[in-house]
Amino acid sequence: MLERVAQPPTRELAEITTRTDTRDYLAHATKQARSYDDYEVIVDIDAHVSESRFWAEICTYIENDVLKQMAEGMMQGAKSGNALLNSASGISFQAVSGRIPHQQNNLEEVEPGAGHGFAQNMRRSMDAMGIDYQVVFPSGMLLLGMHPMHDVELHVSNAFNRWIIERIIPDEPRLLCLLYLPFHSPDLCVQLVEKYAHIPGVIGFSVSCVRNNPVYHPSYMKLYRAVEATGKPLVFHTAYNWTDPSFAQLNRFGAMHALSFSHYNLIHLTNWLFNGLPDRFPKLKVVWIEGGLAWIPYLMQRLDHEILMRPSEAPGLKRLPSEYIREMYFTSQPLERSNIRMLQATMETINAETQLLFASDWPHWDFDPPSAITTLPFLSDTAKRNILGLNAAKLFNLPVKRVRPRAEDVLASRGNLVS
């Protein structure tokens, strides 16, 4: 029965733009967070800074005088930019030409005196999505593995690491770092592992996958041993590369993006297995970040099939590749949810209940809020709690302690609370 009553109070909601406050942008995620408000801990293993926004500031941490001057000379006083980087602007169509504002830019107001602007941005995203801890990766810098000037990766990654550890984490200790390793320079990677292993906030070490450095090369063995000795995980973070000749055949960003992310994981994980690295470093915990999940069962089946017929090419393997893969860790985003039965089979295949780690990828265009996991009808309550935080807490030795605000309080702070 339709009721005509006096006009109840209505509120107009504005179009979402690059200036929208993150907490308003993600208000629906906060409403969703009410359904997992009692979860012990929520850990997001992969969020990002669009480092070009803070590039002049990050470049002040470059320790090499020549590269530092080059960056300053290229920036000419500008605060944002991509001096020294090989992430060609114009080849990134990530925001679908302005259709996805949070990918395009972040021009929201921050509060003076409330810490670094980026720390505030990320605190808002964690509060809005109901996340306790969040690991921050760079964005364009993930292509540094393809930079022809190897010294740029070395010095720029070091500058980024210092910026996160010295400037950002002190302003928001819920942010964490998987130290970027300049994989072009294996000896320096070892030094960095030894230097940073005990620094608070550094929970492991990361390699950007977009590169042609084979992971089995003898020069990396000291590095794997050093990481293994710390007890902290080694993570491989994939990305895209539209300049690769194979991918340059693809004439749409989405087509390239769909294939390129999994491609680099496929290459490095295959090399990792065929060269018997799991048994050479049995205590080294390995995590594969981004690229979704659908590629993993594909690789398990392909490699098992080949290895059975060609064992002489992989004598270091004592079991089937799929068995090793089931003991590795993967992050969840971007979760392919378009066929729920295939997703269920995938999650069962990779032992998601113990091996899968939630990742949001915020603020990138294909981010997942935690509800991408909580709304899966086939997961048990235990599996959801594990994937959203308990698996990561165990792997990275994080406290199982709630530090996020209650969803209702976040909603109330923005005037979005409705009883």
Partner 1 sequence: MTEVSAGRVDAFADPGRKVIEVGGIEIGIFQFKGAFTAFENICPHLGGPVCQGLMLPRTVDDVTQDNVNLARSFSKTHHNVICPWHGMEFDISTGEHVTTKTLRLRKVPVRVEDGEVFVTVPDRKHQHVHAWFTGERQRPPRERGTSDRT
Instruction: Point out which residues bind partner 1 (CB under 8 A).
Output: 1-5, 7-16, 25, 27-29, 31-32, 35, 96, 98-102, 337-341, 365-369, 371-372, 375, 377, 418
**Whole-angstrom Cα distance, residue 157 to residue 52?**
14
CB 30, min distance to partner 1, A: 9
Q: Which is nearer to partner 1, 32 or 322 (CB)?
A: 32
CB 97, min distance to partner 1, A: 9
Question: Locate tokens 């950007």: which residue?
Answer: 208
CB 390, min distance to partner 1, A: 22
**Whole-angstrom Cα distance, residue 103 to residue 365?**
5
CB 352, min distance to partner 1, A: 17
Rounded to 5°, the CA angle 228-215-352 comes to 65
**Whole-angstrom Cα distance, residue 120 to residue 277?**
40
Q: Which is nearer to partner 1, 301 or 375 (CB)?
A: 375
Question: Locate tokens 């590629």: which residue?
Answer: 295
**Whole-angstrom Cα distance, residue 356 to residue 372?**
13
Q: Which is nearer to partner 1, 7 or 380 (CB)?
A: 7
* Nearest C-alpha neighbor of 363 from the set 15, 36, 62, 126: 126
CB 23, min distance to partner 1, A: 12
CB 138, min distance to partner 1, A: 22
Residue 262, C-beta contacts closer than 8 angstroms, at least 6 positions apart = 238, 291, 292, 294, 295
Q: Which is nearer to partner 1, 27 or 383 (CB)?
A: 27
Q: Which is nearer to partner 1, 145 or 291 (CB)?
A: 291
Q: Which is nearer to partner 1, 32 or 241 (CB)?
A: 32
Beta bridge partners of residue 202, listed in sequence order: 177
The tally of CA atoms less than 13 A away on the side-chain side of residue 272 is 25
Which tokens is 379 given? 């997961």
**Whole-angstrom Cα distance, residue 330 to residue 92?**
25
CB 224, min distance to partner 1, A: 36
Q: Which is nearer to partner 1, 372 or 388 (CB)?
A: 372
Residue 250: count of CB within 10 angstroms of its CB: 16
